[in-house]
């Protein structure tokens, strides 16, 4: 019984750590500016990226070298935040949090596009 309890506590701790690390990556990406080229490619009109821009950025991401791989977990998290937002309705605190999280997801995809393009340019320059 004790080994099962230790295993359960370890698994819960690992999941908590993984979620904290994942959210830290999203928050960090949300602080990096997305280039004008990526904004133009995704046809973004606003200066600030929001959660509404996620699908447009994900579409551009799928066109970069490497395809659509690398944002599967972010897309799943984005969908989860959409569901939470739908369930929470107009509750201002939860709605504001989900809006921020969805914007971080979109920024993450934009940053990944920038990184892929920079890597592709560097590889072409070295040839």
In the chain, what are the domain boundaries?
A: 2-125
Residue 28: CB atoms within 10 A of its CB come to 13
pLDDT value of position 57: 92
Residue carrying structure tokens 């551009």: 60
pLDDT of the chain along its 127 residues, tens only?
A: 889 999 999 999 999 999 899 889 888 887 888 888 888 888 988 888 888 989 999 988 888 887 777 788 889 999 999 999 888 877 778 888 899 899 999 999 999 898 888 888 888 887 7
Between CA 121 and CA 68 the distance in angstroms is 19
pTM of the shown model: 0.82
């Amino acid at each position: 019984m004790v080994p099962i309890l230790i295993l359960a506590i370890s698994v819960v701790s690992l999941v908590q750590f993984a979620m904290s690390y994942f959210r830290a990556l999203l928050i960090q990406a949300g602080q990096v500016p997305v280039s004008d080229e990526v904004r133009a490619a995704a046809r973004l009109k606003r200066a600030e990226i929001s959660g509404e821009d996620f699908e447009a950025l994900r579409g551009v991401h799928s066109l970069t070298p490497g395809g659509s791989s690398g944002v599967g977990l972010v897309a799943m998290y984005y969908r989860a935040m959409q569901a939470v937002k739908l369930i929470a309705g107009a509750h201002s605190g939860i709605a504001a949090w989900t809006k921020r999280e969805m914007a971080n997801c979109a920024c993450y995809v934009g940053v990944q596009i920038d990184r892929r393009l920079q890597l592709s340019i560097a590889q072409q320059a070295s040839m």
